[in-house]
Amino acid sequence: MAHDVHIIGGGLAGSEAAWQLGRRGIRVRLSEMRGAGDMTPAHQGAGLAELVCSNSFRSDDDEKNAVGLLHHEMRRLDSLVMRAGEKARVPAGSAMAVDREVFSAEVERELAALPSVEIVRERIDRLPESGLTIVATGPLTAAALAESIVGATGSDRLAFFDAIAPIVHRDSIDMSVCWMAARWDKGGKDYINCPMDKEQYLAFHQGLLEGEKGEFKEWEANTPYFEGCMPIEVMAERGVETLRFGPMKPVGLDNPHWATAEHPNGRWAYAVVQLRQDNKLGTLWNMVGFQTKLKHAEQVRLFRTIPGLENAEFARLGGLHRNTFLNSPVLLDRQLRLKSAAHVRFAGQITGCEGYVESAAVGLVAGLMTAGEILGSDWASPPRTTAMGALLAHITGDAEAETYQPMNVNFGLFPPLAEVKKKQRKEAYTERAKAEFGQWLGAIERVPA
């Protein structure tokens, strides 16, 4: 069958994009390499939209939770992943969990029933030179295609591993303890600095040594990322001073909270944890050099012993994984198109979103944008006050390109509501998002369904 759009990758994002296009009568070729003799290191079978690890779509609470809100918005856009998820749902309290076999089979059944979608089991090794294309090959994109993407984007624009440092919500940092400064006062006062005295540092160092760590999967071990992005606990193992000469270096940072008559500008701490702004809104701050393989609960416990971060709320915790993703803020336009080759859109985790639901949501949006392009309707992105819009804005330009790492949807991506008390923030964001999503749905020239 001739096609209007070629989708490469039949995971969460590719399947969702195919659904949004196919049910509008647009002819899609959906190429999935599993089932044609190829496999990724994490998938087990050949089914579309296979969930490679947990069977959870996380919270389904659309009043107080950003991913629950994303579920809500996806349902309003008749998401296939949400629809199949409902059919496959298993009890999981306020979370949405699914029977993975039923889920994958349901996605495949719905897509196969669409006459305009052709599912082809084949591996694609090159980015097509023409024709509308959606690349949704995920965090484990096959090697030849990854090489072809590097050819189109530049070798430093496609990462093969994430090295994630935790990200903290700005309003949870205690600025009566921390201060803004750059080392040696060079440039602007761009960093938030958390000071430690010797006793605190030694206790923290011991905590890193003793902290429970996550295991590397067999295919993640012996990877070259240790050269550039060593986990802090590995640095700690190299000696008690290593961190003080690395990411926790205190020199050139006068702490004004420790000013005395003798040192009116303040004094240096024994060690310093620095945080760098991570999004244009200034709501999210990245712990510099703190990529880690510590278990999540351990990270929360240990990092809250850092002075000024006692009440830190984390938008993202640290991690290190095999993960292929683009530097999307630089490479993609607001419509998820490659700036250097506008016939190619990217969708799913390869854009640098993180998680099943987020990947599917970006696939959904990519499908709608492509449909809009074909049908000639002007498909405006959802407002950035919505979960979908906030995620999209982050990926396509609002995130700091230099430190770009995969990100789940979270309220830190939403434009702040200054007048709202912190305790009511989530409800207020949700209320605003739902109202504006509704208006947007009503106002846009709808892509006909």
Ligand X SMILES: Cc1cc2nc3c(=O)[nH]c(=O)nc-3n(C[C@H](O)[C@H](O)[C@H](O)COP(=O)(O)OP(=O)(O)OC[C@H]3O[C@@H](n4cnc5c(N)ncnc54)[C@H](O)[C@@H]3O)c2cc1C
Residues binding ligand X (CB under 6 A): 8-14, 31-34, 40, 42-43, 52-54, 123-124, 136-142, 145, 348-350, 355-356, 359
Kindly compute the dihedral angle of the four CA atoms of residues 190, 192, 198, 203, in this order, to the nearest 10 degrees: -130
Angle among Cα 415, 317, 345 to the nearest 5 degrees reads 60
Please identify which residue in the block is written with the tokens 């905590």.
207
Please provide the size of the chain in residues: 449
For the CB of residue 362, give the shortest distance to ligand X in the complex, in Å: 8
d(CA 208, CA 356): 30
CB nearer to ligand X: give 33 or 433. Answer: 33
Q: What is the closest distance, in whole angstroms, from the C-beta atom of residue 116 to ligand X in the complex?
A: 20
* C-alpha atoms less than 13 angstroms from C-alpha of 114 in its C-beta half-sphere: 26
Query: Least distance in Å: CB of 16 to ligand X?
Result: 8
Q: Which is nearer to ligand X, 235 or 362 (CB)?
A: 362
CB of 53 to ligand X, least distance (A): 3
The residue assigned the tokens 């024994």 is 270
d(CA 29, CA 120): 7
Q: Angle, nearest 10°, between helix axes 80-87 and 100-112? A: 130
Q: Cβ closer to ligand X: 33 or 302?
A: 33
Q: How far is the CB of 354 from ligand X (least distance, A)?
A: 6
Nearest distance from C-beta of residue 352 to ligand X, angstroms: 10
Backbone angles phi, psi at 184, to 5 degrees: 55, 20
**Cβ-based nearer residue to ligand X, 140 or 248:** 140
Residue 331 and residue 404: Cα distance in Å, rounded? 12
Residue whose Cβ sits closest to ligand X: 11
User: Exposed/middle/buried for 200, CB within 10 Å: 0-12, 13-18, 19+?
Assistant: middle
CB 31 to ligand X: min, Å: 5
Query: Per-residue DSSP letters for 109-156?
Result: HHHHT-TTEEEEE----S--SSSEEEE---TT--HHHHHHHHHHH-GG
196 or 387, CB closer to ligand X? 387
Complex with ligand X: residue 303 or 356, whichever CB lies closer: 356
By C-beta, is 103 or 290 nearer to ligand X? 103
The answer to whether 320 and 292 are in contact (CB under 8 A) is yes
Return all residues near 262 (Cβ < 8 A) that are at least 6 apart. Answer: none
**Shortest separation between residue 144's beta carbon and ligand X, angstroms:** 7
In angstroms, the CA 261 to CA 269 distance is: 17
Is the CB of 31 or the CB of 291 nearer to ligand X?
31
